[in-house]
Amino acid sequence: MQLEDYIELYQFMEQQITTGICAIDEQGQVVLYNNKMSDMTGVSKKEVERRIITELLDVDLGQQLLHQVITTKEPVLHQKQTFWNKKGEEITIISDYRPFTLSSGRVLGVQFARDITQQEFLMDQPLSRYGAPLTFEIITAVSKSMKQVIQQAKIAAIGRIPVMLVGESGTGKDMIAEGIHHELEEANERFITLLCRRNEETLIRQIEKYIAESKNYTFFAERIEFLSMPAQEKILSMLTEHADRGHVFIASIGTDPIDLIADGKLSKNLYYLFSNLTIHVPALRKRREDIMPFVNDYFERRRRNFGMRVQKLSPKVEQLFMTYDWPGNLKELEVLLDDISALLTNEEVVEMSMLPAYFKWKVKEQKDDDTQMDLFTFREKQDLRPLDEYMREVEEYYISHALALHNGNISQTAKTLGLHRQGLQYRLKRK
C-alpha cells in the first residue's frame, strides 16, 4: 500500500470508530476531533475548526487533563465524567488521556472517550442500599396504610400482573417494585430499572433487547409519565406483543393517573394495562408512625455493618422528626440520616447540635415561629459566628434546597446553579 492509501484508511477508521477522539496541542488548538466525539459533545466538526478546547467543551476536568498529559507526559486513565452537551443532553463518558510526541518534538494531548450513557440510564441490578435484596421483610412498614401497600404488592407478585405505583418522589416506590420482584414464586432473571427521565430512545432499545430474550425479567419503569406519548405507546405495543411471556412490568407515576391522562402526560391505553392493580404509596407525613421504626432500623444496620454505637435520637430530635412534614419523604429521611451518621464517632444519641445546617433551615421555613431553629439571623453579640462558618451553612442550605427542587438530580441542579457537575459534587462531599 502507498502512503496515500494508509492515510485514506486511517481517515476512514478515525471517523467510523465508536470511541470519541479529541487531540489538542500545547496552545489548546484542536487538531483531531472525530465523528463520535462530535456526537457526544453536540459540537459539529465545522465548529471545531480553528477553535480552542476551552471554547468547545463544558467539561472542566477534561480540559485540565488534556493539558496535564501534555505537561507531564504521563497518561491519566479511566476518568468518569458526566456533563450536559451542546444539544442539552446529559452524557456520561469514561476517558483515557494520553500524551503523544510527534517526530517534530511537539506534544499532543489525546482523549479517548467511551460513551457509557446507556449503562447509566439503564440500571439492571437490584437496589443495594441495604446490602441485601430488598424483600418485603426488610421494608419498614408499621402503619396500616403501608401494610396494605405491601399486601397489595404481594397479590401482584402472586398473579404476576402489571402494577402501577402512584406516589410522591421519595416515598419508596422503587423499594415496593423490587419487593414484588423478590416475591415472585417463579423467580425472574433480573430486576431492571428503566429511568424514564432520560434518553427514551436508548431506553426503548434496551426494552426491545431484553423483552425478546428467552429469559424473563422484571421491568420497573420509574416515573413513566416523563416519556413522550409515542414512547409510551411503543412500550405498550411491545408489552402486548410479548404478553404471553413471563416478564413482569411495574411502572410508577408521581401523581393521580386520571390527572396525568387529562393533562396529556400519560397514555390512556398504557394506563389500561395497569388498570387491574394500582397501588398508592402514601407520603411519609401521612404515616408518621413509620418514621421512628425506620430510624431505628437504620441505626441497627449502622451498628451491625459499621460497628457504630449510635442507638437513638434525643427526645428533642425525635419530636422534630415527628412534626416535620418530610417533603422528600422516605428518601429525604434516609439522606438526612446518612449525613448525620457521617459525622458520628462514638456518640450513642443524636442531639440537635448534630443536625446539618440545611435541615435546620428547612425546619425553620416550616416553622417560622420556632426561634430555636433561627440559624442565619442574630440579635446579640454572642450569636455572631466566624464568617466562613456562616457562609458554609448558607451554601449548604442553598444547595440542598436546590437539590430538593430538582428531585435530587445533580446534573439539573448544577445547571440551574451555574456550576459544573464536578463542582457541585465537590461541594456536596465537602459538607
> What DSSP line would sit under 183-222, residue for residue?
H-SS--SEEEEEETTS-HHHHHHHHHHHHTSSS-EEEEEE
CA distance 169 to 403: 13
pLDDT, residue 371, reads: 42
CA pair distance 184, 408, nearest whole angstrom:
31
Among 120-129, 140-149, 294-303, 384-393, which is the least confidently predicted range?
Answer: 120-129
Provide the pLDDT for residue 429. 59
**More confident site: 6 or 383:** 6
Give 389's pLDDT tier (boundaries 50, 70, 90): low
Domains of the chain listed by start with CATH number: 3-115 (3.30.450.20), 121-282 (3.40.50.300), 294-430 (1.10.8.60)
Residue 26, pLDDT above cutoff 70: yes
Strands 190-195 and 217-222: parallel
The CA distance from 344 to 298, in Å, is 14
pLDDT of 118 reads 59
Cβ atoms of 291 and 321 within 8 Å: the answer is: yes
Q: What is the pLDDT of residue 73?
A: 92
Between the two ends of the chain, the Cα-to-Cα distance in Å is 60
d(CA 188, CA 75): 43
Would you state the pLDDT for residue 380? 60
pTM above 0.75, yes or no: no
pLDDT over 60 at 58, yes or no:
no
Mean pLDDT of 93-104: 91
Rg over CA atoms, the chain: 26
Determine contact, residues 122/206, Cβ cutoff 8 Å: yes
Mean pLDDT is lowest, of 208-222, 304-318, 407-421, for 407-421
Q: Which pLDDT value is given to residue 129?
A: 52
- In percent, the amount of the chain with pLDDT more than 90 equals 38
More confident residue, 371 or 4: 4
DSSP tag of 276: T
Give residue 385's pLDDT band: very low, low, confident or very high (50, 70, 90).
Answer: low
Q: What is the sign of the dihedral through the CA atoms of 161, 166, 172 and 174?
A: positive
Distance CA 342, CA 47 (A): 46
The pLDDT, as a whole number, for residue 42 is 83
The answer on pLDDT for 56 being more than 60 is: no
Query: pLDDT-derived band of residue 30, with 50, 70 and 90 as boundaries?
Result: confident
pLDDT of residue 122: 43
Q: Report the chain's mean pLDDT, rounded to a whole number.
A: 83
Q: Which residue has the higher pLDDT, 167 or 377?
A: 167
The segment with the largest mean pLDDT, out of 58-72, 87-101, 159-173, 416-430, is 159-173
Residue 288 DSSP symbol: G
